[in-house]
Structure 1
Amino acid sequence: MTRPFHGLRVIDFTHVLAGPACAFYLGLLGAEVIKVESPGRGDAMRHRGGTDPDRAAAGMSTAYLTQAAGKHSVALDLDDKDDRQAFDDLLATADILVENHRPSTLKRLGLTWDFLHAQNPRLIHCAMTGYGRGGPREDAPAYDVNIQAASGLMTLTGTAETGPMRTGAPIIDYSVALAAAFAISTALYERERTGKGQFIDVSMLDTALLLMSSNITDYRLTGHEPRPRGNAANSRSPSAGTFPCKDGQIVLGVNEDHQFRALAHVLDRAGWLTDPRFADPQSRVSHGQDLSEALTEALSTRSAGDWEELLLANDVPAARIRTLPEALADPHLNARGFLRSVEDLGPATVPGLPFRYGVRSDHQALPAAEQLGASQSRAKTPTILRKQKA
């Protein structure tokens, strides 16, 4: 795998999910990552119980380990004179500082941009906060679920009966991590031209709103407030969405006329193409309930797995609804090498990056991803994290 960030040093002064994930991604791309934690307890995410309380009690929760591999760890008390000097020495050797602390915390510690830039003009300082700098809530604490609420995202999820619901995974945290890594990459590119680092302000709220870009544009232009649509497709096409099958459920993404024609032939319902209710896109929208009932009846004759295979073979966008274990067992995922083994975790794997560099001329899958070292996963408790000078 290409390692474009080989030779770069990242100081990971973060906690919880978004910040550690960002630093983890930089490490996957070759950077040396040094994670700075508080003495004794370390990153609070080490102790988040989940379904493995024994690991959490030992300071090695599964949530922590997901984005811990390959990093070096050091415990520093920044209110201690010697430890603060060690931290400053590390920053003097660093290319990138990644942190997700409130501005007031950085100000108290004297870690302002003016100070950091004066000490290391080439340093890129990436700050991730809930609401970003420059507004009345710039110092407000926030987690993923708070931002899902504040952004309006929760009101788009669920149904009228359930009311607002958060997404099943912390998508804001991981989206912020990717946004920050993207911003850092562009800052590194600019540094090649100017020789100077810069400050990057990443907002969780802005990122959440970015994920709803088309909804926002539609609302601002039309004034129509978006409502929760359950499992209906965002396209509002009546031939897209979730449908029950003989066994399981399938999600169709049939939005274009040629896709609907292919769907009708696969379902052995060629008559739909001359039925005045379904013959053209506008008629299908006008008779959406009739089409939904017809699709449900047609799909009830086979399992979701069978329909998925048939539909994809005929270029109809479709996917059966899988559980997470089923999705992780998909041979396609293994062929891509997306899940990576982690040293000291036995058969366990963690997600890597959603992209790869290079394509083999024979179009075969690239070799399985290399094993990730997990230097701090060897520590059994955070209390033995070693203090070190830079």
Structure 2
Amino acid sequence: MNERAAPPPPLQGIRVIELGNYIAGPGTAMTLGDLGAEVVKIESMEGDMARHTGHFGHAMLRAYNRSKKSIALDLRQPRGKEIARRLIAGADVLVQNLRPGAAEALGLGAEALRAQHPGLVHVSIAGFPAEAPSRDRPGYDIAAQAESGMMSVTGEPGGLPQKVGATIIDAATVQVGAQATLAALFRRERTGIGETIRVSLLEVALNLQLPNWSDYMVRGVEPSRSGDGQPMNAPAADIFRTRDGMVVVSAYVQSHWVRLCEAIGSPALATDARFLTNELRVANRPAMKEAVSARLSQCSTQACVELLTRNSIVVGVVRSYSEALAGEDFRSSRMVIDVAPNGERPGYPSFGLPYELADTPRRPTQAAPAHGAHTEEVLREAGFGPEEIAALKAEGVVRAAPVDPSARPG
């Protein structure tokens, strides 16, 4: 009996052109590539700005640019713009996160391109909403964290506002941009009509804080920094020391709190007047933490996890990156992929999509390309002959990466 053939990836046959730097634009395009689309990255003659920002920049390149073709193109020259328009004419999606107004100045804005190609899905990612007074300001992850209120609720009580320890807004914008693109492609499949998608880091940052904002807009109570605990619930994300480490515990639902008290051998805490309700536990958080810590600190981390899990209490071990990497849960995740070598640079481990399509095997993936690694290939596919390509290179309209198996993506 023959095994059933694996279905093609969902976006097979879809072509994406990316004009991106850093994370949000490149990541959105790469996510579509992970789902089967062909992605061509148009870079300036200087390349994605991440190529010039040291180790973290190279980490961004590895993380958000695998399995793409890179063409280095001077969009300041008329021939460069002409080539870009020809590439876009054969594409289904354009993703760009150039500085505000740059795509429009190059004639590559949504209005101009969709007038010529009504089926195009044009995705623009910016720091601020398109109609906002700050629309022309450059916007990075950190600015969105600051201006959305996120930093004001992150950090220790009485301390300075803090950023989240990862580029969380950029990373979330990748998923939002890809989600919106998939919706637009689905509608286009039924109607033939494309879409103009505008995503701003500020709006994504606000969306990530929906419960906080929902409470503030209804009750008018300004949320504040609470360190390791959630401002309105306790215990929730509170850190407790074990004999050999730390755990976070969430048991603010009343029945969970009672169960926690019983599990740690302190049932009287459940009826303690200071801790009778969630609101009282929030108000008396230091005393609550001291009482629970007195019990949990006697257990090893593993024993604590086993005890609370056995009693259906949410618990998480606070791990460093090295500890997380060594953990069995991490090691068994099929999200971790090996990015294959491709003749331009060595391979490396990375993360695939944060979900599985159970009937669709993960595609082999190639390392992030060197700057201009596929310039000649992309031009040939677009119909340029050898003499034309040679002339474009000589005129400085395009740049092709030298063939060097040890080349890094910088």
Deviation at 1:222, TM superposition (A): 1.3
Deviation at 1:109, TM superposition (A): 0.6
Deviation at 1:209, TM superposition (A): 0.6
Whether 1:271 aligns to 2:264 is: no
Secondary structure at the residue paired with 1:74?
strand
2:137 is matched with: 140
Long gaps (5+) in structure 1: 360-365
- The one-letter amino acid paired with 2:354 is P
Whether 1:5 aligns to 2:1 is: no
2:313 is matched with: 316
Q: How far apart, in 2, do the equivalents of 1:281 and 1:226 lie?
A: 16
Q: How far apart, in 2, do the equivalents of 1:170 and 1:297 lie?
A: 36
Does the 8 Å contact 2:70/2:374 carry over to 1?
yes
- The one-letter amino acid paired with 1:42 is G
Q: How far apart, in 1, do the equivalents of 2:277 and 2:112 lie?
A: 64
1:363 is matched with: none
Deviation track 1:128-150 (CA, whole Å, cap 9, x = no partner) reads 00002112111111111111111
1:362 is matched with: none
Q: How far apart, in 2, do the equivalents of 1:257 and 1:336 lie?
A: 33
Deviation track 1:34-71 (CA, whole Å, cap 9, x = no partner) reads 000012x31110222137xxxx7xxxx22211111100
Measured at CA, do residues 212 and 274 of structure 1 come closer, stay the same or move farther in structure 2, by a change above 3 Å? closer
Q: How far apart, in 2, do the equivalents of 1:283 and 1:113 lie?
A: 53
Does the 8 Å contact 2:14/2:92 carry over to 1?
yes
Q: How far apart, in 2, do the equivalents of 1:35 and 1:282 lie?
A: 52
Q: How far apart, in 2, do the equivalents of 1:18 and 1:278 lie?
A: 44
Deviation track 1:99-124 (CA, whole Å, cap 9, x = no partner) reads 01234212211123232012211110
For 2:27, which of 4, 21, 29 is the aligned residue?
21
Q: How far apart, in 2, do the equivalents of 1:131 and 1:169 lie?
A: 20
Q: How far apart, in 2, do the equivalents of 1:102 and 1:315 lie?
A: 49
Does the 8 Å contact 2:69/2:373 carry over to 1?
no
Does the 8 Å contact 2:233/2:278 carry over to 1?
no
Deviation track 1:176-207 (CA, whole Å, cap 9, x = no partner) reads 11111111011111112220101001011011
Does the 8 Å contact 1:48/1:63 carry over to 2?
no
For 2:161, which of 160, 164, 181 is the aligned residue?
164
- The one-letter amino acid paired with 1:43 is D
For 2:94, which of 97, 118, 133 is the aligned residue?
97
Whether 1:33 aligns to 2:30 is: no
Q: TM-score, normalised by structure 2?
A: 0.84
The two structures, once aligned, show a CA RMSD in angstroms of 2.3
- The one-letter amino acid paired with 1:23 is A
Does the 8 Å contact 1:239/1:291 carry over to 2?
no
2:365 is matched with: 372
Q: How far apart, in 2, do the equivalents of 1:321 and 1:222 lie?
A: 33
Secondary structure at the residue paired with 1:350?
strand
Secondary structure at the residue paired with 2:247?
strand
Deviation track 1:216-245 (CA, whole Å, cap 9, x = no partner) reads 111111111111111012542246511122
Does the 8 Å contact 1:240/1:251 carry over to 2?
yes
2:180 is matched with: 183
- The one-letter amino acid paired with 1:208 is A
Long gaps (5+) in structure 2: 1-5, 383-410
Measured at CA, do residues 126 and 283 of structure 1 come closer, stay the same or move farther in structure 2, by a change above 3 Å? closer
2:399 is matched with: none
Deviation at 1:208, TM superposition (A): 0.5
Query: Which deviates the most, 151-160 or 257-266?
Result: 257-266
- The one-letter amino acid paired with 1:386 is T
Does the 8 Å contact 2:129/2:202 carry over to 1?
yes
1:386 is matched with: 375
Deviation at 1:258, TM superposition (A): 2.6
For 2:336, which of 311, 335, 339 is the aligned residue?
339
1:43 is matched with: 48
For 1:218, which of 215, 219, 230 is the aligned residue?
215
Does the 8 Å contact 1:340/1:370 carry over to 2?
no
Does the 8 Å contact 1:12/1:98 carry over to 2?
yes
Q: How far apart, in 2, do the equivalents of 1:119 and 1:250 lie?
A: 57
Secondary structure at the residue paired with 1:162?
coil
Deviation at 1:255, TM superposition (A): 1.7
Does the 8 Å contact 2:69/2:374 carry over to 1?
no
Does the 8 Å contact 1:263/1:311 carry over to 2?
yes
1:86 is matched with: 83
Q: How far apart, in 2, do the equivalents of 1:198 and 1:232 lie?
A: 42
Query: Which deviates the most, 300-309 or 191-200?
Result: 300-309
Q: How far apart, in 1, do the equivalents of 2:100 and 2:277 lie?
A: 56
